[in-house]
Structure 1
Amino acid sequence: MKTRFLSLDILRGITLAGMILVNNNGNGDFTYGPLLHAKWNGFTPTDLVFPSFLFMVGVAMRFSLKAFNYELTPSVRNKILKRTIYLFLINYFVFYFPFTDFSFEKLRFLNVLPRIALSYCAVSFLTLQVPSKWLTWINAGILLSFWGILYVFGDAGSWMDISSNAVRKLDLFLFGESHLYHGNVINGIRIAFDPEGFLSTLPAISTCLFGYQVSLYLENQAKENKSASLGLLGWGAALVLVAVIWDHAFPINKKLWTSSFVLLCAGIDFILIGFLNWWIETKERHFGNTFFLVFGTNSILAYGISEVIAIQLGKFQIQDMSASDWLYWHIFEPIFGKYNGSLAYAITFVLVCWGVCWVFWRKKIFLKV
């Protein structure tokens, strides 16, 4: 029986490349719409990137836990908790290195890696203690409960607004305004709201759990020597349809990680895995796979490298502007124009990160947290 699917590593690599691309677009004022997040309700291709990465974390968990026979022993429990803590520490290292201007009073507690850490931890304990037959019901319960929580605890009539939703309220209560993300601008005023908030980690756990369930399905189909592609495509289409219908009552919203958003992203990921499974595992087409394997087999390292480079370029000053702005305005914009220059900057950034990761890949050095 096949225990490793090349298509999963490829999709993880595609996701990582997309994440680096949309996070480093040169100039946000001159970026093509599909490479920007939806401002609030709605959906763009960029909104799919982080959920897909989290989805792939869930997929990988099934295979990584096999070494422990899917039993929650004290040793396995400690490994799960250590990995959760390490992801938090890596996050703080990446974003505050070299700590010259570090301030605990302004420390943002939650972010991309902490969300991955909390989701990984929750899904690990859940799947190791609950029979697989109950996972779908638990997933549905999570999504319905989150809908109810937002509706009940948000302000009446504005429970989906950025300033009065339950996610923001809980974060303000738990952490305080200074520890939240301040990149959202409403009517010219920056508002404290964290798109990786504590409460919205609940549906993020659902995203991760969907990935775990896909790996279960792939495993079961492989045991019976059946192709998984058609089933994945069918389930993916069904999830997308439900998401579109639910959007009318519970809008698709990445920053709140709404339940309809979870279903939409999971459905698309089902379809992508179904296609890649057919193309790579069934048809055995491997052209160009190495590029994405460099990212896909070392995803945490790739993400960390991209963030360290981006943050340091933002801090380093050249002619009274950040190095990233200088590169855009003095190299990419003069050659390619404003919008194409922004795209060229993003592509170049991906290739630089890929080059660094390629060195590790050739030397078979992989960051295992």
Structure 2
Amino acid sequence: MVRERLISLDVFRGLTILLMTVVNNPGDWGNVYSPLLHADWHGCTPTDLVFPFFIFIMGVAVPLAMPQKLYDSTTFNKILVRSLRMLCLGIFFNFFGKIQLFGLEGIPLLIGRLAITIVVGYALMGSFSPKVKNILALSILFSYLFLAYSGIQAYHDVRLPGVLQRIAVVYFVVSLLYLKTPQKTQIVTGVVLLLGYWGLMTLIPVPGIGAPNLEKGTNLASWLDSILLKGHMYSATKTWDPEGILSTIPSIVNGIIGLLVGQILLREIAKNQKAMKMTIIGVALIVAGLFLNIIFPINKSLWTSSYVLYTTGLATTFLSILYYVIDIADYKKGFKPFLIWGINPMIVFFTSQIIPQALVMIQFKNPHNTEQQINLLDYLYSFGIAPFFNNPKAASLAGALVYVAIWTFILWIFYKNKLIFKV
């Protein structure tokens, strides 16, 4: 079987990373349109679709990347190394703003942090032998853990979980499931994980708190995070992490469902049949998610089983539409911008986490109030974008779109020069 690359999947990935960039980079966090914010707790906004869509897309890509389904020590090592590299990249985002160097401050410290970023980025995305990749990834991971638990003040509360960290875990599990088990086992695994998570969250009493519940800070997932991730969660004011330990379990099913859809795309059947199967599965998952929402509310922070079903249903349906339009009807006009985003997501993900932190470190006197300091990020927005808008939310969105435009130009250059950055 020949390895296949789906343009529709690349476009879907591009749309998702582009939405992520808009969501994560508003001009003003105090003025954001509600669809571009996460739901406060229960519920689901367009922003809440970004992360589960990423995991789903990754699951779809696994069988497309390994159509022969051959498992050996070399394949296992590739999967392990890629997982470790993603894990280490994700944790580095949390370390960047805490790096201290010989008492440096301001621009000298920023230069030092950026130099370390280049070294770490090259070590985790550069092309080396499998053995060197392993050594580098493990060395960096152990360095993180040492710093986090060494008692050094600068790193005592550095966050360890994160988006890329969860993706790394799911990728590892899903890849091994694909290579080592039949589809029936994959389906059963997904069902067991979703039902098991529902049981844990709704039937098991929370130690020190009481009855099982799904409220902020008092649910079982929150309790487990407070025990195992104490001091290393999303923020010092939270007793839970949105990418915590227990809630990672159901997120694996987003990858499993993507995996099953990817195997449909590999079947030797007509493309129209594939699109129809995906559409039926997508609609069924949406209905199942909405039904389960009655007893186990859709919630991204808890990554509830209903959230898994609902988001994978939307993802499957959306992919089926793109697959029909692009790969069956062969209509590709207008999709090129999303394609160039979709084939180079890692470099956007990595540097977009670093750039805002770097710009905030560059500070100087505010031109409108010389007694105050302003950082470069705020300066560019306040004086280069906001004055052109009367609506502060429109201005904030414009700031995000300008950032997207800059990245589109950069990614176009990469695309033209066939530069693809991978872990």
TM-score by length of 1: 0.92
1:359 Cα deviation from its structure 2 partner: 2.2
**Relative to structure 1, is the Cα distance of residues 158 and 321 closer, same or farther in structure 2, using a 3 angstrom cutoff?**
farther
Match of 2:170 among 119, 122, 142: 119
Map Cα deviations across residues 35-67 of structure 1 (whole Å, 9 max, x no partner).
00001111101000111011111111112223x
Query: 1:177-326 to 2 correspondence within 5 Å?
Result: 178-182=231-235, 190-220=237-267, 223-227=268-272, 228-318=274-364, 319=366, 320-326=373-379
1:158 Cα deviation from its structure 2 partner: 5.5
Residue 136 of structure 1: aligned partner: 187
**Structure 1 contact 30–339 (Cα < 8 Å) conserved:** yes
1:133 Cα deviation from its structure 2 partner: 2.3
SS in 1 for 2:235: coil
Match of 1:163 among 189, 214, 217: 217
**Structure 1 contact 301–367 (Cα < 8 Å) conserved:** yes
Residue 82 of structure 1: aligned partner: 81
Map Cα deviations across residues 186-237 of structure 1 (whole Å, 9 max, x no partner).
xxxx3232100011111111111111111111111xx122412222222111
- RMSD across aligned positions (CA): 1.8
The amino acid across from 2:316 in the alignment is F
Map Cα deviations across residues 84-115 of structure 1 (whole Å, 9 max, x no partner).
11112222334433763483312211101100
**Structure 2 contact 91–162 (Cα < 8 Å) conserved:** no
**Structure 2 contact 13–57 (Cα < 8 Å) conserved:** yes
CA distance in 1, matches of 2:210, 2:198: 14
**Structure 1 contact 317–323 (Cα < 8 Å) conserved:** yes
1:238 Cα deviation from its structure 2 partner: 1.2
**Structure 2 contact 359–375 (Cα < 8 Å) conserved:** yes
In structure 2, stretches of 5+ residues that fail to align are 101-146, 148-153, 367-372
Residue 20 of structure 1: aligned partner: 21
- The share of aligned pairs that are identical, in percent, is 33
Residue 335 of structure 1: aligned partner: 388
CA distance in 2, matches of 1:210, 1:48: 15
**Structure 2 contact 205–211 (Cα < 8 Å) conserved:** no
CA distance in 2, matches of 1:297, 1:92: 23
Identify which range, 357-366 or 258-267, moves more after superposition.
357-366
In structure 1, stretches of 5+ residues that fail to align are 184-189
CA distance in 1, matches of 2:323, 2:233: 39
1:104 aligns to 2:105 (yes or no):
no
CA distance in 1, matches of 2:260, 2:165: 22
Identify which range, 289-298 or 317-326, moves more after superposition.
317-326
- Aligned residue pair count: 358
1:362 Cα deviation from its structure 2 partner: 1.7
Kindly report structure 1 stretches of 4+ aligned residues shifted beyond 4 Å. 155-158
TM-score by length of 2: 0.81
CA distance in 1, matches of 2:412, 2:393: 29
CA distance in 1, matches of 2:338, 2:261: 21
**Structure 2 contact 15–338 (Cα < 8 Å) conserved:** yes
Residue 6 of structure 2: aligned partner: 5
**Relative to structure 1, is the Cα distance of residues 98 and 179 closer, same or farther in structure 2, using a 3 angstrom cutoff?**
closer
CA distance in 2, matches of 1:196, 1:268: 21
Residue 347 of structure 1: aligned partner: 401
Map Cα deviations across residues 314-345 of structure 1 (whole Å, 9 max, x no partner).
33324323333223322222112301000101
